[in-house]
Amino acid sequence: MSYTGPEFPPPQPERRPGRSRRAPVVVAGALVSGALLGWLAYTAVGAFGGGPDARPDRTGAAAVTHSSAPASHSPAAHSSASPSPSSSVDDGKGTDAGTPASGPLRGRVVVIDPGHNPGNARHTAEINRQVDIGTGHKECDTTGTETDDGYPEASFTLDLAHRLRTLLQQQGATVELTHDTGTRAWGPCVDERARIGNEAHADAAISLHADGSAPGNRGFHVILPAAVHAGAADTRPIAAASRRLGASIAGSFVRVTGEPPANYLGGGTGLVTRGDLGGLNLSTVPKVFIECGNMRDAADAARLTSGSWRQQAAEGISEGIVAFLRES
């Protein structure tokens, strides 16, 4: 999701020409975080040699449980994510799961925010509108990045959201998406994305992304909210819980997927703290972002475009959320 926009600082000179990228971020936490421990343990057993499809494929995800649409749009019939570039593997399609199953997360609410929207590029005036993020004003939303072969970040995040939703529903959680295929022509804006989680009284919220950094920069990172107190933003009550959520997700993500922590920020922990993201600044519930890999790096792109690896990513994120909620 790296480019100039509401969630990202201006592009850096060393990045790929013609495509702006995210500015350096503030490193979060000590090197003894759960993410680093998971990385060290995984490295010790040589798990990263398995490649993106090392684990078997699994069933894809169901349709959205809840969604939010602007007043001018009536929610359409819920449908699956955009087709996977790897059509021979699970593409995350499914049908409405209805009432959450009985399970350890019965009564818990999780909000999943698929980053960007495939229609944003067709609605530049709308997504360029300025919104208040507490520490200032930024654009409503942005278009997202893509792989060199043209697989959009917005398609990736919707597919991953569907898979993650099904896994959490199987644990008994009530799951709400901020938007889904067919429910929004564009957006929602970053302030509304935060508001959806707040109004749902989510026990945990996560925004799904993939980065657009320079080739050679690879690996995942989880973005934690800084302790922001400005204007409408006050993350102080959720900062500690969000850090626990992020560390839990980072540890399980590296273990399940084999994706290493980012080698270009975060100090090898897989954790980064930022105070410039509207989706975090305006949240009143524990919330993190995850950048699952770098779409502009060939090794990461091979994983991100694999349906079976996206299922692993959903499993890693789900396990981190489940662990956090069972300890909360």
pLDDT surpassing 60 at residue 4: no
pLDDT interval class at 132 (50, 70, 90): very high
Residue 152 pairs with which residues in a beta bridge? 146
Least confidently predicted of 86-90, 129-133, 220-224, 283-287: 86-90
Amino acid at 322: V
pLDDT digits (tens, 9 = 90+) for 167-195: 999 999 999 999 999 899 999 999 999 99
Do 113 and 141 form a contact (C-beta atoms < 8 A)?
A: no
Q: Quick one: residue 20, left, alpha or beta (phi over 0 = left, psi -120 to 50 = alpha)?
A: beta
d(CA 22, CA 214): 10
More confident residue, 2 or 107: 107
Domain annotation for the chain: domains and CATH numbers: 26-70+79-327 (3.40.630.40)
| pTM tops 0.85 | no
Q: Is 224 helix (H, G, I), strand (E, B) or coil?
A: strand
pLDDT value of position 33: 43
Supply the angle between the helices 307-327 and 153-170 in degrees, to the nearest 10.
50
Q: Pick the catalytic residue: 139, 153, 176, 291?
A: 291
pLDDT value of position 102: 85
Which run of H or of E encompasses 40? helix 34-44
d(CA 5, CA 89): 33
Encoding tokens for residue 276?
């410039």
Amino acid at 314: A
Encoding tokens for residue 228?
């922001």
Q: Mean of the pLDDT values across residues 3-22? A: 37
Burial 254-290 (b: 16+ CB within 10 A, else e): bbbbbbbbbebbbbbbbbbbbbbbbbbbbbbbbbbbb
Do 141 and 125 form a contact (C-beta atoms < 8 A)?
A: no
pLDDT digits (tens, 9 = 90+) for 274-322: 999 999 999 999 999 999 999 999 999 999 999 999 999 999 999 999 9
291 is catalytic: yes
